[in-house]
Amino acid sequence: MNGGPQPPLLRMSGVGKSFLGVPVLRDVDLQVRAGEVHALVGENGAGKSTLMKILAGVHRADAGTVELGGERVDFAHPVHAREAGVATVFQEFNLLPERTVAENVFLGREPRGSGTRIGVDARAMAAETERLLEDLGLSAISPHAPVRTLSVAEQQIVEVVKAMSQSARIVSMDEPTAALAGAEVELLYRLVRRLRERGVAVLYVSHRLKEIFDLSDRITVLKDGAKVATVDTPDTTGADLIRMMVGRPVSAVFPEKIAGTEAGRVRLEVTGGGNERLDGIDLQVRSGEIVGLAGLQGSGRTEIAHALFGIDRFTRGELRIDGERAVLRSPRRAVRSGVALVSEDRKTQGLALHRSVLDNGRLVLDAVAPRRSRARSGRLPGIFSSLELVARSPSQEVRFLSGGNQQKVVLAKWLATDPSVVVLDEPTRGIDVGAKHAVYTLVRRLAAEGAAIVLISSELPEVLGLADRVLVLRDGRITGELPGGASEEAVMELAVGGAP
Amino acid sequence: MTATDTPASGAAGALRRAGAALAGGGGGTVFALLVLVFAVIFAINPGFARPPSLLAFAQQAAPLVVLAVGQYLVIVSGELDLSVGSLVGAQVVVAARLIDGQEPMTLPVLALMLAFGAAVGLVNGLVTTVLKVPSIIATLGMMLVLYGAVRLWTGGAPTGALSEAFRVAGRGDAVVLPLIGGVPWAVLIAAAVGAAAVALMRSPYGRTLVAVGDNATAAAFSGARVWRVRTLAFVGSSVLATLAAVLIGGFAGVTAQVGEGLEFSAITAVVLGGVVLGGGRGAVLAAIGGALAVEALFTLFNQLYLPSTIQPTVQGVIIIAAVAYAARERSRRSPRAPAPAGGPEKSPREEV
């Protein structure tokens, strides 16, 4: 049935979208045919998920048109998209864990009993679910199983079955394999291929080149919110894709290393560190050194930060801080051992938003060193001004500050403790250019003062521009080490794994 | 202080601002209310404005002030303590039975009450923080346990009597001043508790307590032992309830009903002070103002010859109104309207 050119089932033309005035999609064209697996690739932040969400009715495009089967559509709500035949499987599922597979598939539109039987016709519901599962070649799943007993892959399948029962014409999947183990990936492959055979269009977002080459017919590459190209999968190589995905202009200038900064003794050392999410982590950071951790989302970067800060633990291997063996059972132990973590999400993990700038600045001192808190907090005003924090007064609540100034408060709270190891997890996420520069300058200054620094960022230029060495992670393991200033392509190759 | 405040006009606005300055922001309204209620009381009964009447009022309000301080510690940390009323009842009944009118027993029994109060708070705190039972359930259970255990032990009716020494704190005068008259111990004790609480809330522990109520994850990620901070708040609440029991027992003597409903009076006082249920916001001085305002309202009802049975109804209305008002304030003053998909300050880049 794939013979001859067909008009595209989905045609997105000139799609644009901005959040708070920041454009995240610009003039994107995308055409997906029926019976095609179309992969959407790009770096973190390239615009893949936003494009998917516009198609799913979660966001509305600011510009451009979306046509489905030749008809112009404009989904104001996910329900409209679903009714029009667009099914989206997000990374978080919308399933009720305590209900059965069949109940989930027919949630909200259960078949009614006829004649004398009133209420939901459970038998018809189960039979229809079974038929759909068999149709997809997945009879191993029982319609009567509670969803919570299923594996992640099986739950994804239930989402797809639910979509198919509503006669979906397009199924779009956001990194469906991100949480899957080896055998489960195979299950998903089968499902995707079966959907293609049935003439359904599959829009497949993934970071993993292997899957993209295994599954897709065509690939669209996005970079910084714009489309780079759409290519036929057999005509391209992994190296081509990586080149298209990276290689953006350098948008930030990084401050030079402060004169006199040199790598001294080893302050942080992990040998063979591992836990449920990490394995074989070897990491050495010297005083004055900045070590970057790169990798895709879910590769284990944040997990390392958490293990270094006592939020999770290394269940295997050894951790040494300043030569002393350290077992970090809690963030408190980590703080006492001299570790600071500028966490990934400042609003949920870093700040008490209704407390003042000063109270937040004192948070760590108050919690960990109450007796010296008063004396040491005397330095906070100086720290605030060295970070060029802009607030109406030290008693202003931090929730009223801009993202960049909030992040400076987080930094100040750690600077007040004179940490010897500083872990920064996405320290510049969601902050403006000026604040970014302040963060970079601070990282350099901390290094010059002799701290050991671990820098985690999704923005490769940032890691490459600041770090002395970059460790690249994939699936919880370190896949390689690169010198600072290495090319983004080299990092991406290690991060996405071998390509054909 | 800030240019963006809505201009509050006239005396009410001035009062509110003064109150806000006094309470450290947020709780100014309650002091305006307090002044307003007293103005009405004085208008109805000018004789009330003399020092002896006011001191008698303060003496009567003292136990609730002490309880409100304890409840404040728990509420600002993000929890709730429903067990304090039962604890007051249990402490009074147990004290009467153990002392049984014998003066030498006073100090040992006081020591025992203190230990028992601390133990109750410890259990409340650990059940909430270690066993992860929501505090509303944990302390509701404790309330029933204490209520039932005391009735089981006494066979339904309290027996024994408190000693004279025991009752001094609740009904005795500390000093007799010229012109003013006798200053009750209870007033001095409540004032001392209030001053200690204000000092505590300015200490590293107090600031950590509020931070835990505001964002427990951020506090934990800053090195705070959240379980310990909250458990100590429960212990504080129970110890202060024990102190309140000494005051109430001394003032009113022993009855089977002593302590009933006090947990709700204390919660009413705290929320009337603008302290937000859920934690992280509100000043202890405002909670004390709330306790005084609740007592002042009851006094006003008395002056109006309303039956005292109206009190629970009024408290219920206050709790609902105060929380609804706080919710309205919050939604109106939130910096930005909720944006689609994950909040306004989430960067566009990370959405992608």
List the strands of the sheet with A63-68, edge to edge: A22-32, A10-19, A63-68, A71-73
- Whether residue A300 is contained in a domain is answered as yes
Query: B-chain residues within 8 Å CB-CB of A50?
Result: 351-352
B341 vs A59, A311, A334: nearest CB: A59
Looking at the structure, do residues A158 and A285 belong to the same domain, yes or no?
no
Q: Which domain holds residue A162?
A: 10-245
Sign of the CA dihedral running A54, A56, A60, A66: positive
- Written as six digits, the tokens of A457 are 């960022």
What local confidence, expressed as pLDDT, does residue B343 receive? 34
- Whether residue A106 is contained in a domain is answered as yes
Touching check for B338 and chain A: CB below 8 Å?
no
Q: Do B341 and A53 touch (CB under 8 A)?
A: yes
Max avg pLDDT among A164-178, B144-158, B197-211 = B197-211
Q: Do A20 and B339 touch (CB under 8 A)?
A: yes
Give me the interface pTM, i.e. the ipTM.
0.82
Does residue A2 have a pLDDT over 60? no
Domain boundaries, chain B: 53-328
Cα gap A338→A336, rounded to integer Å = 5
Looking at the structure, do residues A51 and A185 belong to the same domain, yes or no?
yes
What local confidence, expressed as pLDDT, does residue A181 receive? 65
pTM for the predicted model, two decimal places: 0.75
Query: A-chain residues within 8 Å CB-CB of B344?
Result: 20
Query: A-chain residues within 8 Å CB-CB of B349?
Result: 22, 24, 44-45, 429-430
Nearest CA-CA partner of A419 in A439, A400, A443, A403: A443
Touching check for B349 and chain A: CB below 8 Å?
yes
Cα gap B122→B227, rounded to integer Å = 11
C-alpha pair distances (Å), B276 with each of A432, B24, B266, B323, B338: 33, 15, 14, 7, 21
Q: Do A50 and B351 touch (CB under 8 A)?
A: yes
Q: How far is B137 from chain A (nearest CA, A)?
A: 24
Touching check for B215 and chain A: CB below 8 Å?
yes
Q: For the domain bounded by B53-328, which CATH number is listed?
A: 1.10.3470
Q: Do A400 and B335 touch (CB under 8 A)?
A: yes
Touching check for B228 and chain A: CB below 8 Å?
no
What local confidence, expressed as pLDDT, does residue B349 receive? 36
* Terminal Cα distance for chain A, rounded: 28
Touching check for B255 and chain A: CB below 8 Å?
no
What local confidence, expressed as pLDDT, does residue B338 receive? 36
Query: Across-strand partners of A341?
Result: A423
Q: How far is A136 from chain B (nearest CA, A)?
A: 30
Confidence band of A198 (pLDDT split at 50, 70, 90): confident
B214 vs A336, A355, A400: nearest CB: A355
Does residue A433 have a pLDDT over 80? no
For residue B47, count other CB atoms closer than 10 A to its CB. Answer: 9
C-alpha pair distances (Å), A261 with each of A256, A288, A423, B196: 11, 6, 18, 49
Find tokens 């929320």 and name the residue.
Answer: B271
Looking at the structure, do residues A237 and A284 belong to the same domain, yes or no?
no
Query: A-chain residues within 8 Å CB-CB of B211?
Result: 352, 355, 359-360, 363, 366-367
For residue A389, count other CB atoms closer than 10 A to its CB. Answer: 24
Q: What is the mean pLDDT of residues A156-161?
A: 84
- Written as six digits, the tokens of B151 are 């009735």
Q: How far is B340 from chain A (nearest CA, A)?
A: 8
Closest chain A residue to B222, measured at CA: A364
Q: Do B204 and A48 touch (CB under 8 A)?
A: no
Sign of the CA dihedral running A273, A276, A279, A282: negative
A71 close to A86: Cβ distance less than 8 angstroms:
no
Q: How far is B336 from chain A (nearest CA, A)?
A: 9
Interface test with A, best of B2, B203, B212, B349 (most A CBs within 10 A): B349
Query: B-chain residues within 8 Å CB-CB of A92?
Result: none
Looking at the structure, do residues A169 and A281 belong to the same domain, yes or no?
no
Q: What is the mean pLDDT of residues A490-494?
A: 87
Query: B-chain residues within 8 Å CB-CB of A374?
Result: 204
B65 close to B194: Cβ distance less than 8 angstroms:
yes
For residue B136, count other CB atoms closer than 10 A to its CB. Answer: 13
Q: Do A225 and B352 touch (CB under 8 A)?
A: yes
pLDDT, tens only, A346-400: 889 999 999 999 999 999 999 999 988 888 889 999 999 988 888 888 999 998 8
Higher model confidence: residue A135 or residue A32?
A32
A323 close to A266: Cβ distance less than 8 angstroms:
yes
What local confidence, expressed as pLDDT, does residue B18 receive? 54
Query: B-chain residues within 8 Å CB-CB of A410?
Result: none
A492 close to A238: Cβ distance less than 8 angstroms:
no
Flag the least confident range among A71-85, A168-182, B13-27, B320-334.
B13-27
Query: A-chain residues within 8 Å CB-CB of B277?
Result: none
A406: burial class by Cβ within 10 Å (0-12, 13-18, 19+)? Answer: buried
- Whether residue A255 is contained in a domain is answered as no
What local confidence, expressed as pLDDT, does residue A38 receive? 95
What is residue B140's DSSP assignment? H
Looking at the structure, do residues A205 and A337 belong to the same domain, yes or no?
no
CATH value at residue A186: 3.40.50.300
Q: Do A335 and B211 touch (CB under 8 A)?
A: no
Looking at the structure, do residues A348 and A395 belong to the same domain, yes or no?
yes
- Whether residue A342 is contained in a domain is answered as yes
B218 vs A352, A368, A392: nearest CB: A352
A367 vs B224, B341, B343: nearest CB: B224
Does residue B110 have a pLDDT over 90? yes
Touching check for B352 and chain A: CB below 8 Å?
yes
What local confidence, expressed as pLDDT, does residue B15 receive? 53
pLDDT, tens only, A16-27: 988 766 778 899
Q: Do B208 and A363 touch (CB under 8 A)?
A: yes
Query: A-chain residues within 8 Å CB-CB of B216?
Result: none
Q: How far is B223 from chain A (nearest CA, A)?
A: 4
Q: How far is A138 from chain B (nearest CA, A)?
A: 32
Query: A-chain residues within 8 Å CB-CB of B343?
Result: 347
Touching check for B281 and chain A: CB below 8 Å?
yes
What local confidence, expressed as pLDDT, does residue A182 receive? 64
- Written as six digits, the tokens of B243 are 């102190």
pLDDT, tens only, A472-489: 999 899 999 999 888 888
pLDDT, tens only, B231-266: 999 999 999 999 999 999 999 888 878 888 999 999
- Written as six digits, the tokens of B273 are 């002070």
Cα gap A27→A21, rounded to integer Å = 15
Query: A-chain residues within 8 Å CB-CB of B278?
Result: none
- Whether residue A487 is contained in a domain is answered as yes
Interface test with A, best of B225, B350, B352 (most A CBs within 10 A): B352
A490 close to A479: Cβ distance less than 8 angstroms:
no
A430 vs B205, B220, B347: nearest CB: B347
Touching check for B344 and chain A: CB below 8 Å?
yes
- Written as six digits, the tokens of B323 are 């929380």
Touching check for B152 and chain A: CB below 8 Å?
no
Closest chain A residue to B229, measured at CA: A367
Q: Do B280 and A20 touch (CB under 8 A)?
A: no
Q: Do B211 and A349 touch (CB under 8 A)?
A: no
A19 vs B210, B221, B348: nearest CB: B348
Touching check for B225 and chain A: CB below 8 Å?
yes
Q: What is the mean pLDDT of residues A316-322?
A: 94
Does residue B340 have a pLDDT over 60? no
Residue A212 neighbours by CB under 8 Å, 6+ apart: A39, A41, A204, A206, A219, A233, A241
Looking at the structure, do residues A145 and A279 belong to the same domain, yes or no?
no
Closest chain A residue to B221, measured at CA: A331
B221 vs A22, A50, A349: nearest CB: A349
Q: How far is A120 from chain B (nearest CA, A)?
A: 35
The C-alpha angle with vertex B308 and arms to B306 and B309, in degrees rounded to 5, equals: 110
Q: Do B221 and A48 touch (CB under 8 A)?
A: no
What local confidence, expressed as pLDDT, does residue B246 receive? 96
Cα gap B165→B20, rounded to integer Å = 40
Looking at the structure, do residues A231 and A195 belong to the same domain, yes or no?
yes
Q: How far is A478 from chain B (nearest CA, A)?
A: 24
Q: How far is A369 from chain B (nearest CA, A)?
A: 9
- Strand, helix or coil at A266? strand
Nearest CA-CA partner of A212 in A17, A48, A29: A48
Max avg pLDDT among A174-188, A315-329, A429-443 = A315-329
Average pLDDT over chain A, rounded to an integer: 86
Q: Of A245, A280, A295, which closes a domain? A: A245
Closest chain A residue to B281, measured at CA: A354
Does residue B25 have a pLDDT over 50? no
Which helix (H) or strand (E) covers residue A132, if one does? helix A122-135
B31 alpha-carbon distance from chain centroid: 16
- Strand, helix or coil at B157? coil
- Written as six digits, the tokens of A238 are 């992994």
Confidence band of B7 (pLDDT split at 50, 70, 90): very low
DSSP-derived pairing of the beta strands A218-223 and A37-41: parallel
- Which string of b and e fits A173-203 if b means at least 16 CB within 10 Å? bbbbbeebeeebbebbeebbebbbeeebbbb
What local confidence, expressed as pLDDT, does residue A1 receive? 45
Which helix (H) or strand (E) covers residue A227, if one does? strand A226-232
Considering its fold, how many domains does chain A have in total?
2
- Written as six digits, the tokens of B20 are 């806000």
A66 close to A10: Cβ distance less than 8 angstroms:
yes
